[in-house]
């Protein structure tokens, strides 16, 4: 389980550094591409994944409950709902009512491989939402939940319930839960080195000399 101490340590680092740490450790890629914050001022978030798989409606009857409501019901404080809608940009799979309900459950936020709507509502209530796009078209009659809290893929990255999710202005990264401690420690090491490099350059140090001193080119090579 993600502790508040570890959450604070993660929030002090960027998604970029977490992605670099995953690469440096030779793990399966955790960086995603194409999902970003949907409004200015959207908070940086870190939490455990509660997953939802969504797909097109068809002859199989859709659940009688609101889209993603089961995932919200499963949320513990600080969790992040991860929605796999296959990158669909044409139909919303998350809106204002869902955001309000998730916020009441103290979810940290939602990341969506697809589209959302009611962006003004997200902004006004301050609930963090990351998605591929914003649209106005409703999900009703078009898409349905296939599975809640199972194995999904999010922008090509495997996500399981309980994996660690992080989102900020740069994007979204997934950390496998069994490698979390190792990734966090490596990320803090990389963050320290890059901070030292930045400080030396800001104090007038020559970029090429600083680069060579810290062996930047080889910093991410697995050792």
- What is the C-alpha separation between 94 and 129, in angstroms, rounded? 9
The domain spanning residue 142 has which CATH number? 3.50.30.40
Convert the pLDDT of each residue in 103-160 to its tens digit.
999 999 999 999 999 999 999 999 999 999 999 999 988 999 999 999 999 999 999 9
- Domain span at 214: 188-218
Average pLDDT across the chain, whole number: 92
Q: Are residues 210 and 112 in the same domain?
A: no
| Number of structural domains the chain divides into | 2
For residues 2 and 47, is the Cβ–Cβ distance under 8 A?
A: yes
> What predicted TM-score, i.e. pTM, was given to this entire model?
0.92
Q: Are residues 160 and 99 in the same domain?
A: yes
Convert the pLDDT of each residue in 90-109 to its tens digit.
999 999 999 999 999 999 99
- What is the C-alpha separation between 46 and 25, in angstroms, rounded? 21
pLDDT given for residue 120 in this prediction: 97
- Closest to 186 in 3D by CA, of 46, 9, 8: 9
- Does residue 205 lie within any of the structural domains? yes
pLDDT given for residue 61 in this prediction: 78
Query: Percent of the chain scored above 70 by pLDDT?
Result: 96
- Does residue 223 lie within any of the structural domains? no
Q: Are residues 58 and 30 in the same domain?
A: yes
Which backbone phi and psi does 166 adopt, to 5 degrees?
-135, 135
Quick one: average pLDDT of 40-49?
97
């Amino acid at each position: 389980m993600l502790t508040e101490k570890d959450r604070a340590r993660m929030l002090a680092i960027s998604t970029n550094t977490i992605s670099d740490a995953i690469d440096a450790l030779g793990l399966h890629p955790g960086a995603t591409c194409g999902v970003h914050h949907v409004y200015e001022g959207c908070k940086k978030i870190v939490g455990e994944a509660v997953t939802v798989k969504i797909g097109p409606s068809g002859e199989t009857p859709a659940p009688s409950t609101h889209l993603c409501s089961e995932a919200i019901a499963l949320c513990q404080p600080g969790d992040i709902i991860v929605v796999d809608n296959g990158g669909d940009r044409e139909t919303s799979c998350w809106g204002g009512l869902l955001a309000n309900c998730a916020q009441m459950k103290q979810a940290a936020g939602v990341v969506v491989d697809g589209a959302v709507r009611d962006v003004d509502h997200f902004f006004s209530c301050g609930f963090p939402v990351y998605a591929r796009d914003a649209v106005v078209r409703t999900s009703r009659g078009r898409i349905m939940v296939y599975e809640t809290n199972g194995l999904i893929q999010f922008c090509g990255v495997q996500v399981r319930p309980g994996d660690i999710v992080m989102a900020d202005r740069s994007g979204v990264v997934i950390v496998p839960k069994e490698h979390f401690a190792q990734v966090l420690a490596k990320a803090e090491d990389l963050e320290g080195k890059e901070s030292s490099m930045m400080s030396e350059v800001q104090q007038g140090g020559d970029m090429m000399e600083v680069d060579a001193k810290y062996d930047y080119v080889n910093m991410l090579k697995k050792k």
